[in-house]
Amino acid sequence: MSFLHRFFFTRPKLRRAVTRLLEGEREVEVSLLGAKLRVHSVKEHGYLRSSRLAKNSALFRDEAPVLLNLAALLADGDTFVDIGANVGIYSLTLARMRALLPKTKFYAFEANPDTFSRLAAHAREMGVVAHNIALSDHEGTLQFVAGAVSHVFTTVDNATSYSLAGETSAVPCKRLDQFDIAGDSLILKIDVEGQEKAVLDGASQFFVKKRVKAVYLDGCKEQAAVEDFLRGHGFAFLEGRTLAPTQGGVFSLLALRPEK
């Protein structure tokens, strides 16, 4: 990078000439952070390159826009509940908002003990209450199966071609509404590889008492049943990355309860 900086980036005439040669000189539509942008292939070449990188990175293509939208949704006194937290990309990133919104609270739930150890490494210092347990519609035990990477850790019933059939383990589970979750304005983020409806059913008392402000779902298995549950509690739907209104049927779903 120092070589590029010295012999390319700080030589503007050379940089412009090479960029024109490689890219031509044109305006092009790109997508960055969930927004459509028109950029010039030479004058905004950095954004053009970034848009190409984002297409091949789930973090920048899918999660970064959602993180921005959830951060904008947070108000002081809200409680963010990260269900299927993995290493904490949502809860630990958003917990920085406590510097601006000191009354916000953060909880994280991760079923995989190995993954949880990495989540827990920074949870306390960021003010996140972390639990190593699976969430479902009952209290008991669930059989999980591992995958080559931690984010496909799922129940045996939801195993896919990404699962390692021989690597199973028993994980304790509880309902979310069995936990003492503080606050009356909850934002739930759910990424649980097929257990979405069971998680919502296990949080039903929070919905009945109208304590849930928003739900973000990163994909779901029983989509029709999940959407019917949320509609039944008065939620309207947006596409989670772009905030475009939708009737449902999208992978990235943000459900909001209209304010009275």
User: pLDDT of 99-115, one tens digit each?
Assistant: 999 999 999 999 999 99
Asked whether the predicted pLDDT for residue 189 surpasses 90, the reply is yes
- Closest by CA position to 78, among listed 61, 59, 60, 100: 100
For 197, the 3-state DSSP assignment is helix
User: pLDDT of 117-151, one tens digit each?
Assistant: 999 999 999 999 999 999 999 999 999 988 888 88
Cα separation, 92 vs 86, in Å, equals: 11
3-state secondary structure 4-21: HHHHHHCCHHHHHHHHHH
Cα separation, 116 vs 87, in Å, equals: 7
pTM of the full predicted structure? 0.88
Alpha carbon of residue 157 to chain centroid: 23
Region at 92 (left for phi over 0; alpha for psi -120 to 50; beta for the rest) = alpha
- Closest by CA position to 157, among listed 179, 136, 187: 136
Chain-wide mean pLDDT for the chain? 92
Q: Would you tell me the crossing angle of helices 12-23 and 45-55 to the nearest 10 degrees? A: 50
pLDDT of residue 12: 78
